[in-house]
Amino acid sequence: MPQGIDRDWSRLTSGDWLLRGDEDRRLRAARLLAIALWVAASSLTIKADWDLVHYRTKFPGWFVPVFVLLTGVLVAWSGFVCWRIQRQDSPAIRPEGRRVSLICLALGVSFVCTCSVHAFYPFRPPPLDFILVLSHNPVWAANFVLPLFGAAFALALWWLLRLGKPGTALVGLTLLGLLLLVPNDQCRNPFNTWWLRTIGASPLMFVPNMFAALLAMAALMDVHRRLSTTLLLVVCVLTLLLGVGHMTRLVW
């Protein structure tokens, strides 16, 4: 392990950064958590690509090659900016700027876009029978709560940055991304087949938001700021199109 990362890891595991109001230490912790987030999101994405190749006959002929290509680009770029984040000495975050507001807004909107695959629930009033299902099914309850929490955190992220607490904000952002690993989807489709058979629920639904968190972190830390912000918005748009494609049965 490189000396710098080894030093950061020792400080993270000591727990001191949780007890002291030291934004610099929390920023180091956020860098390490970003690595874990990228590994988790990329592993799930590669697994999904592999499964879709196996089930490619269930989709239009163009879909799987395009999906694999775009997700490959996303994995590669997010890995690159994650590497650059580790080398960034200090974040160039200007909380008063419109850029920060745009990034936080895009992060919140990304959860709305992801929920398009489930007809935009919970961002529109659900029917009563769906509420009753939530009270008896912890998996669907997680699916309902996670996007609401994620959208609320986007506002908290903006507020923390306004308070001049970038380390706290970015630790929270990476922890949010890791929280999205909670299995939360029981829809029977080619994306989820292996997961349903193996553990009974899939963690795939909010993987786009995990990448959105990484891209938001990169943009906030001035790592290819404009391109990272643009790709964050592209993730929102493509996730929305995927959800609409499912709602209209044009994709699956």
Q: What does each of the 252 residues of the chain score in pLDDT, given as a tens digit? A: 555 555 555 554 444 444 345 888 899 999 999 999 999 999 999 999 999 999 999 999 999 999 999 999 999 999 999 999 998 766 556 655 788 999 999 999 999 999 999 999 999 988 877 777 788 899 999 999 999 999 999 999 999 999 989 999 999 999 999 999 999 999 999 999 999 999 999 999 999 999 999 999 999 999 999 999 999 999 999 999 999 999 999 998
**Given this model, what pLDDT does residue 159 score?**
94
**Given this model, what pLDDT does residue 200 score?**
97
Contacts by 4-13, CB closer than 8 A, 24 or more apart: 4/86, 5/32, 5/86, 8/32
Q: How far is CA 96 from CA 99, 100, 161, 164, in A?
A: 9, 8, 9, 10
d(CA 117, CA 202): 14
